[in-house]
Amino acid sequence: MRAILEAARERPGGETRVSVDAQSFPEAVAETEAAGRVPVIAEVKPTSPTTEGVREDDPVELAREMVAGGATALSVLTEPEHFGGSAESLRRIREAVDVPVLRKDFIMNEAQLDVVESDLVLLIARFVGEDLSDLVEAARDRGFQPLVEVHTREELTAALAAGADIIGINNRDLGKLEVDLGTFEELAPEAPDDVLLVAESGVKSVEDARRMREAGADALLVGTAIMDGDVRQNTETLTQ
């Protein structure tokens, strides 16, 4: 994790400030609910420190399959060194699909928001620390919908204090990389009802999805279980 953060701190930002016309994620979630399906953010993750191998398929093709399988939104890793991502694949994917797209990266400063346009942008409470409020505001000023990721009660409190209204509770401890679905179950009741809650990481089966929904997840963020095998079929199974 230290290597990932060191690389993230060094990565340059954009030269000019972006201004995005974002597609509403809360509306997309409401539409999926109205259709009687489970809102899933499917993640295009060519590789990660906890996965074996790299998927070499065209990321745009994978993204299209996820949308065809019923994904409400997509998450696209743009971290190049450890997750095989790029700003360019996000740009191409966002052009090719009509669902909201989340930029998944380790953003540490305001200029890094200006690298590429997306509908949602991930801000990880653990890593941005005291800058969280400023980054939430800087993201909104550019038109992004910030998704603030938390893993502990303290981080959840900080996210709420920063005015976050879309909060992802990560079941994976980014320090130890261990996954425990109990994390979402423990923290979800602490969030007010008007916050849109996303259960992140470790959802592998329909049972896991049900468990997270019962605990109050408005949406699920799923990477590995979708990327492993037939992407469209996997998305269909988890969104049913």
Q: What is the 3-state secondary structure (H, E, C) of 133-154?
A: HHHHHHHHHCCCEEEEEECCHH
Mark residues 59-98: x for contact with ligand IGP by CB under 6 A, - for none.
----------------------------------------
Of 200, 208, 218, 236, which one interacts with ligand IGP (CB under 6 A)? 200
With binding defined as CB under 6 A, does residue 102 bind ligand IGP? Answer: no
Cβ closest to ligand IGP, residue 157 vs residue 205:
205
Shortest Å, Cβ 79 to ligand IGP: 7
Of 136, 156, 159, 221, which one interacts with ligand IGP (CB under 6 A)? 221
Of 7, 224, 228, 237, which one interacts with ligand IGP (CB under 6 A)? 224
Catalytic-role residue among 149, 155, 185, 236? 149
Of 11, 103, 104, 232, which one interacts with ligand IGP (CB under 6 A)? 104
Q: What are phi and psi of 208, to 5 degrees?
A: -60, -40
Tell me if residue 117 is catalytic. Answer: no
With binding defined as CB under 6 A, does residue 126 bind ligand IGP? Answer: no
Catalytic-role residue among 170, 185, 234, 236? 170
Task: State the Cα–Cα distance between residues 235 and 66, nearest whole angstrom.
Answer: 6
**Touching ligand IGP, residues 129-188 (CB under 6 A):** 149, 170
Tell me if residue 104 is catalytic. Answer: yes
C-alpha count within 13 angstroms, C-beta hemisphere, residue 129 = 2
Task: State the Cα–Cα distance between residues 185 and 179, nearest whole angstrom.
Answer: 13
Task: State the Cα–Cα distance between residues 122 and 164, nearest whole angstrom.
Answer: 11
Catalytic-role residue among 43, 79, 110, 185? 43
**Touching ligand IGP, residues 34-63 (CB under 6 A):** 43, 45
CA Rg value for the chain? 16
Cβ closest to ligand IGP, residue 43 vs residue 193:
43
Please give the DSSP secondary-structure letter assigned to residue 172: B
Contacts (Cβ under 8 Å, ≥6 apart) of 9: 108
Contact 154, 172 (CB under 8 A): no
Task: State the Cα angle at 97 between 55 and 68, rounded to 5°.
Answer: 70
Task: State the Cα–Cα distance between residues 113 and 122, nearest whole angstrom.
Answer: 10
Which residues form the interface with ligand IGP (CB under 6 A)? 43, 45, 104, 149, 170, 200-203, 221-225
> Could you list the active site residues?
43, 45, 104, 149, 170, 200-201
